[in-house]
């Protein structure tokens, strides 16, 4: 099962869901897909989409998922890699009004450079990443990094407030 996390941003990230639908139609993906869409409004016959759900239910889906595809939010990335999951992260981009700035690009690049995730720059790289992730072995996220997550959350909240 593939779980897609779009977080709780009040801006749409429909480009990612459109690309996923495209990959299902091209038979690149044939797995069940669940989407935590937040405020992104999107309809699909290929994916089960829900807005927001209780944290316990979300964590259960994260545990069950074989692959997690997420926006570049620190919370979504950390909660997934703490569970040892393979993660593909795609940053929301300001030029598409998906976020107030492009800080998610740096977040994705940082986690990617450490080997925790496969970070991509845009949805056009998603097909290649889905193929590549099959052989990807993520670096184990340790408790030292977990302590740093509080600081990352503070920084992310500050940046989003700008």
For the segment 122-159, what is each residue's pLDDT rounded down to a tens digit? Answer: 999 999 999 999 999 999 987 555 556 666 766 777 66
The count of C-alpha atoms lying within 13 angstroms of the C-alpha of 111, restricted to the half-sphere facing its C-beta, is 38
pLDDT in the model for residue 94: 85
Task: Identify the pLDDT of residue 102.
Answer: 80
Angstrom CA distances, 5 to 11, 34, 76, 119, 143, stand at 14, 9, 7, 14, 23
Indicate the pTM of the whole model. Answer: 0.87
**Mean pLDDT across the stretch 31-45?**
95
pLDDT: which is higher, 16 or 151: 16
User: What pLDDT shows up at residue 135?
Assistant: 96
pLDDT, position 142: 75
pLDDT at 64: 97
pLDDT band of 111, cuts 50, 70, 90:
very high
Instruction: Look at residue 93 in the predicted model and tell me its pLDDT.
Output: 86
pLDDT exceeds cutoff 90 at 71:
yes
Q: Compute φ and ψ for 94, nearest 5 degrees.
A: -60, -40
Mean pLDDT of the chain: 90
pLDDT for the residue numbered 21:
97
pLDDT for residue 40 is more than 60: yes
């Amino acid at each position: 099962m593939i779980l897609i996390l779009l977080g709780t941003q009040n801006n749409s990230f429909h480009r990612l869901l459109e690309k996923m639908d495209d990959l299902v139609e091209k038979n690149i993906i044939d797995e069940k897909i669940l989407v935590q869409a937040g405020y992104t409004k999107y309809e699909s016959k290929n994916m089960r989409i829900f807005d927001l759900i209780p944290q316990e239910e979300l964590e259960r889906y994260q545990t069950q998922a074989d692959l997690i595809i997420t926006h570049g939010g620190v919370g979504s990335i950390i909660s997934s890699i703490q569970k040892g999951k393979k993660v593909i992260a795609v940053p929301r981009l300001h030029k598409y009004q998906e976020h107030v700035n492009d800080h998610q690009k740096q977040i994705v690049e940082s986690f990617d450079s450490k080997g925790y995730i496969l970070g991509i720059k845009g949805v056009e790289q998603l097909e290649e990443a889905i193929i590549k992730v099959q052989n990807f072995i993520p670096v184990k996220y340790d408790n030292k990094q977990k302590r740093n997550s509080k600081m990352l959350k503070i920084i992310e909240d500050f940046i989003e407030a700008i």
